[in-house]
Amino acid sequence: MRCCRPDAVHHVYVWYRVTGDAGCARAAVTEMMLDIAAETGVVGQLCARADDPTTWMEVYADIDDRAEFDAALARACAAHGVDAYADGGRHAECFSPMATTFDI
């Protein structure tokens, strides 16, 4: 996954539909996120969709080094087997803040 602005601060959003035991999935994702925080300093937040609690989203904000973060995320996902809990796979999106075009 690559963003079009490599020099910008990034926010990564990873969403998926949880399959299997939700408690085991939550434990695996929590351990994965703790590993990412320890390795990169990026503390993620786990959210559930308001109208569908089986759709989860991990939110990682203010990422300065995307290559480092992507590598840490891949390692942590593999180490904790989180892909096994994602029905249809994990879908990652990257966003960067837009420059302000007006004064407030």
User: What pLDDT digit, counting tens, does each position of 61-91 carry?
Assistant: 999 999 899 999 999 999 999 999 999 999 9
The pTM assigned to this predicted structure is 0.86
43 domain residue, yes or no: yes
Residue 103: pLDDT band (50, 70, 90) is: low
Mean pLDDT of the chain: 91
Give the pLDDT mean for 3-21.
83
Residue 6 has pLDDT above 90, yes or no: no
Number of domain units in the chain: 1
Give the CATH number for residue 55: 3.30.70
pLDDT at 1 over 50: no
Three-class DSSP labels, the chain: CCCCCCCCCEEEEEEEEECCCHHHHHHHHHHHHHHHHHHHCCCCEEEEECCEEEEEEEEEEEECCHHHHHHHHHHHHHHHCHHHHEEEEEEEEEECCCCCCCCC
Question: Does residue 2 belong to any structural domain of this protein?
Answer: no
Please report which confidence band the pLDDT of residue 12 belongs to, taking 50, 70 and 90 as the band edges: very high
Pairing mode of beta strands 10-18, 52-63: antiparallel
Domain with 89 in it: 16-95
